[in-house]
Amino acid sequence: MFKASIRRLPIRFFGAIIPLLFWGCIATNGDTLKNIRERGALRVITDNNSNTYYLYRGTAMGFEYDLAAAFADHLGVTLKIVTPGWNRMFEALEEGQGDLIAASLTATASRRDRFEFSDDYLTVQQQIILHRSNRTVREFGDLEGMTVHTRQGTSYQERLLELQRGGLQLNIITHRNVPTEELIRQVAERQIEATVADSNIALLNRRYYPDIRIAFPIEEPQPICWAVRKGDEPLVAEINTFLEKIHQNGIFDKIYRRYYANARFFDYLDLKKFHRRLESRLPKFLPAIRRESRKYGFDWRLIAALVYQESHFDPTARSFTGVRGLMQITEATAREMGIDNRRDPEESIEAGVKYLAKLHGRWDRILDPQERMYFALASYNIGYGHVRDAQKLARKKGWAPDRWPSVKQTLPMLRLRRYYKDTRYGYARGDETVKFVERIRLYYDIIRQDALARRGLESGASFHDVPISLPSIIGSFGGLRHDHQQTRSVHRWNRFPRFLSRCPQESCLKPTV
Closest CA to 477 of 307, 297, 251, 350: 297
Is residue 274 within 8 Å of residue 150, measured between CB atoms?
A: no
Q: In the beta sheet, which residues pair with residue 225?
A: 105
Q: Which of 95, 292, 310, 371 is catalytic?
A: 310
For residues 473 and 345, give the distance between their C-alpha atoms in angstroms, rounded to a whole number.
30
Neighbours of 175 (CB within 10 A): 20
Active site residue 310: yes
Is residue 80 within 8 Å of residue 485, measured between CB atoms?
A: yes
Q: What values do phi and psi take at 405, rounded to 5?
A: -55, -30
Q: What values do phi and psi take at 150, rounded to 5?
A: -150, 160
Is residue 121 within 8 Å of residue 256, measured between CB atoms?
A: no
Is residue 167 within 8 Å of residue 145, measured between CB atoms?
A: no
CA distances from 259 to 51, 108, 240, 381, 491 (A): 8, 24, 22, 24, 24
Cβ burial, residue 117 (10 Å; 0-12/13-18/19+): buried
Classify each residue of 402-434 as buried b or exposed e, where b means 16 or more C-beta atoms within 10 Å of its C-beta: bbbbbbbbbbbbbeeeebbeebebeebbbeebb
Catalytic positions:
310
